[in-house]
Structure 1
Amino acid sequence: MSLRHRLVNAAVGAGVLASLVAAPPAAVAAAGPATLPASQYTLTANYNQFDAVNSALVSTLGTAAVHTVMDNANHDRTALPSSFSVAGLSTGFRFDSGDNSDCTNYPQGITTSRDAVGTANSGNYDGHQLVLVSWYTKDGCDGGQTRSRITLADWDATYPNKYRKVLLVEPTGTAAAPDFKDIPIHAGGVSWYGDYLYVADRGKGMRVFDMRKILKTNTGGTADQIGHQSGSTYYAHNYAYVLPQVGTITSKTTSGTNLAWSSISLDRVSKSIVMTEYTCSSGCTDYPNRAPRAIRYPFASSGTFAATTTASQALQLPWYKLNGVASHNGRWWFNSSGSKQLYYWTPTAGSSTFAWVGSGESLSYWEDDTAADLLWSLQEGAGNRNVFAVTQATYGGG
């Protein structure tokens, strides 16, 4: 079912329809990016980093296909509240009340099965049209990051309005004694292409996961138990499913400071992943105080990154506190949580600035063969975690 029909099921009852006829936000001219030498930015890819241990984990625990995970989805997503309004709103949802208000877990990145497979077969991956969100977990409401996870939400009228949490883990141990541990990263951006899931790792690049290798784990342990316990028992903080890392994409630059990977997004037109940095103009202690950059890295013809990849585009940006980036067919969007603005830019048309939501996070471009193309995004603030899609044409996309 198309997103136009999903709107009736997911949003009208909550009073969202009124916001669909809101006037488009006024575009304001803005300073634009400057071109940087793309050759100064490279990636080194290793998709086989954990092969031996992962093979042993698969043999020991067994895998669960995505459709099996979704058949066992155990959380109900809800409609957007009537109070939520943003220009060009098409559809969206909220997590259940527990996840919406949880001060120890924060949603960050967003991608969809349309990133993974395109528009064919309604964008279904393993029979499901999905919205995938990455999260990080803190040790208490005021603690540091301890682990990360994803949620898979069904976005198809054929299935219930359900979602399932899957813990991200890093394989450890040996082939003879396989194990896994938590991945305590911010998970600020996520992109799904083919079978591979790419998760931003702030100071390093990306971690790679294979959606065909979700592992089944044991439940019933204590909340802090992770990894091998005894015999064939593996706990994962009571998660029934874990997704083990398969490889690492390492970032390097020959000019200036290393990239601070904030958010990533897939551009299916140019078959590339774009990234941007979260930086401050001044005054930040946990983030760089300098102008941010946006870099485009192309996939090889195989649909994965080559052993070494040189960027195909590099930009110096005039905007700060960027939590989201998207690009499609030569167009760029950047979300600033600091200014509550969405910036649009093309090399020919220049830049425009639009009013945007507060606590905005990542962006994902949703192609549609029968309806308007969309931009998916989300808000991270506890009690106000709206996952929503707007028509991209409302924000300069044309």
Structure 2
Amino acid sequence: MAGFYKETRGLFIATWVVGLGLAGCGPASEPGLEDGATGVGRQALTEGAPLTTHDASCLRLQDQNTWSTYASYLTPVGPAVGLPGVLADLNRAGPVLTGLGHPPAVGYKGGFRWNDGDMSTADWVPQALTAGVSGSTNVAIASWHYAPTTAPEKGVRISVADISDMSLSAVNYRHVLLVRPTSSGNFTIISEHGGGLAWYGNYLYMADTSDGLRVFDLTQIREVSTSATCETAIGKVGTEWCAYGYKYVLPQVSAYVVPSTITSPCRPKFSWLGKDTRGTTPVVLSGEYCNNTGTGCPYDGSTPGLGGRLYRWPVDATTNRLKTVSGSVTPERAYILNEPNVQGVAPIMTTTSTTSYWLSSTRYGGALFKVSTSASRTAYLSGNADWARMPEGMHATGSGTNLWSITEGVSGITDPALGGRVVFFADQAAVD
């Protein structure tokens, strides 16, 4: 296979993580290790090593249970148009990538870039990607976080894109601002990074870095004012509802949060999300970004960058909410990634096993890692023209056909072939 590359050169990073001291939460015991009791075991972390099973029995999320309250708060804002209303009112066109004007990627099949303004803006940065179907329309949803150095903070927006026909010259899309209801007829921004998305039914899950998962109801999307007053305002202003000039808002309906009594290292970060429908129960995947230059993870110990963890949160296939017992949900399984700089995850859909994944990473300027519990990683690197630069969130189609990814973009570059912001898809079999 062209560009196939196994990481071996100068990439060994190993250490011993000793005595994390939190009973019931840590590496699974391994033969020959001292202090083999769960939660106190010693685990060698090596970059590129197989996924390591992790004991996450100490961890749980609590449903904030604001489903009905938040929905009622939005009633005065006006009728909900839902996702179909937005899809009928897409106002931007992203040119489809053609010829050599696309990022190099093994198995590349197609993609699109954003319009010129979104390719060059420094105020908003693309992050996460998920996809699904609304009626007969195939839809991609991408998140952007607000990143200017001046006030006011605008939080997180999503792009709703119609990807039904990638043979057209452009993909139509529209930005929608995420909001949190605060009282009857009022709302505010979502001040988060927006690093992960997962779409189940009418619910869009978003990573809340410090606390867990926020949930948004796609049926509750509402139209607000785009008057001059609203260009610089959020929430109720006089007789208008404003969202910094955005025509539509997507409201939060609830959240699943880690109780404050659960602390590090049991308490994880929620940097990115994914969607996995393999196995008997669908799950929301969540994981941690960490590196060896200052952004650590709770489990890193003295191995900066390699202690990121991957969690599987079970979803009730009937309600599309997380499966709870007395309002709490626990991960059905967890792994230590043994990879740094992870930005997204997608399940390998050609198998029903839940022990293998693709990880997107900004390690080496951009990489796709194929990982599992049984083998060292396979790496596709941007430096070898195997994958795009600065990849973020991913989505694998359930048919096992396409692997979609979004890129953050290299600062100052707008050419899609050289690191400009794109959404693209590759043949799953080519990187499996």
Do both share a fold (TM > 0.5)? yes
Mean Cα displacement is larger for which, 209-218 or 124-133?
A: 124-133
The amino acid across from 2:378 in the alignment is S
Mean Cα displacement is larger for which, 357-366 or 55-64?
A: 55-64
Candidates 325, 335, 345, aligned match of 2:345:
325
State the distance in 2 between where 1:283 and 1:144 align: 27
Question: In the superposition, relative to structure 1, how do residues 71 and 300 fare at CA in structure 2: closer, same or farther (>3 Å)?
Answer: closer
State the distance in 2 between where 1:341 and 1:282 align: 18
Equivalence for 1:392: 428
Rg (Cα) greater in structure: 2
Equivalence for 1:11: none
State the distance in 1 between where 2:209 and 2:66 align: 19
Equivalence for 1:44: 62
State the distance in 2 between where 1:162 and 1:272 align: 29
Tell me how far 1:57 sits from its aligned partner.
Answer: 2.0
Matched, 1:262 2:271: yes
Tell me how far 1:224 sits from its aligned partner.
Answer: 1.6
Equivalence for 1:298: 314
Kept in 2: contact 1:139–1:146 (CA 8 A) = no
Kept in 2: contact 1:150–1:166 (CA 8 A) = yes
Kept in 2: contact 1:108–1:134 (CA 8 A) = yes
Matched, 1:212 2:231: no
Equivalence for 1:335: 360
Q: Deviations over 1:131-178 (max 9, x none)?
A: 1101111234x77964101111001239973101110001012x3xx2
Candidates 50, 53, 59, aligned match of 1:35:
53
TM-score (normalised: structure 2): 0.76
Equivalence for 2:82: 65
Question: In the superposition, relative to structure 1, how do residues 314 and 88 fare at CA in structure 2: closer, same or farther (>3 Å)?
Answer: same
Equivalence for 2:394: 363
Tell me how far 1:338 sits from its aligned partner.
Answer: 2.5
Candidates 57, 81, 104, aligned match of 1:85:
104
Q: Which runs of 5+ in 2 are unaligned?
A: 9-47, 382-386, 415-419
Tell me how far 1:33 sits from its aligned partner.
Answer: 2.1
Equivalence for 2:290: 279
Equivalence for 1:15: none
CA-based RMSD of the aligned residues comes to: 2.5
Q: Which runs of 5+ in 1 are unaligned?
A: 1-21, 114-123
Matched, 1:108 2:115: no
Kept in 1: contact 2:196–2:393 (CA 8 A) = yes
TM-score (normalised: structure 1): 0.82
Tell me how far 1:282 sits from its aligned partner.
Answer: 4.0
The amino acid across from 2:288 in the alignment is E
State the distance in 2 between where 1:251 and 1:327 align: 25
Equivalence for 1:25: 4
State the distance in 1 between where 2:255 and 2:341 align: 26
Equivalence for 2:236: 228
Equivalence for 1:130: 139
Kept in 1: contact 2:59–2:267 (CA 8 A) = no
Name the SS for the 1:129 alignment partner: strand
Aligned residues: 356
State the distance in 2 between where 1:35 and 1:192 align: 26
Kept in 2: contact 1:182–1:226 (CA 8 A) = yes
Name the SS for the 2:227 alignment partner: coil
Tell me how far 1:62 sits from its aligned partner.
Answer: 1.3
State the distance in 1 between where 2:110 and 2:263 align: 43
The amino acid across from 1:77 in the alignment is G
Q: Deviations over 1:269-316 (max 9, x none)?
A: 230011111112243489984521111111135331122111111111
Matched, 1:380 2:400: no
- State the identity as a percent: 28
Tell me how far 1:58 sits from its aligned partner.
Answer: 2.6
Name the SS for the 2:267 alignment partner: coil
State the distance in 1 between where 2:212 and 2:423 align: 25
Kept in 1: contact 2:59–2:266 (CA 8 A) = no
Name the SS for the 1:363 alignment partner: strand
Kept in 2: contact 1:27–1:352 (CA 8 A) = yes
State the distance in 1 between where 2:180 and 2:189 align: 6
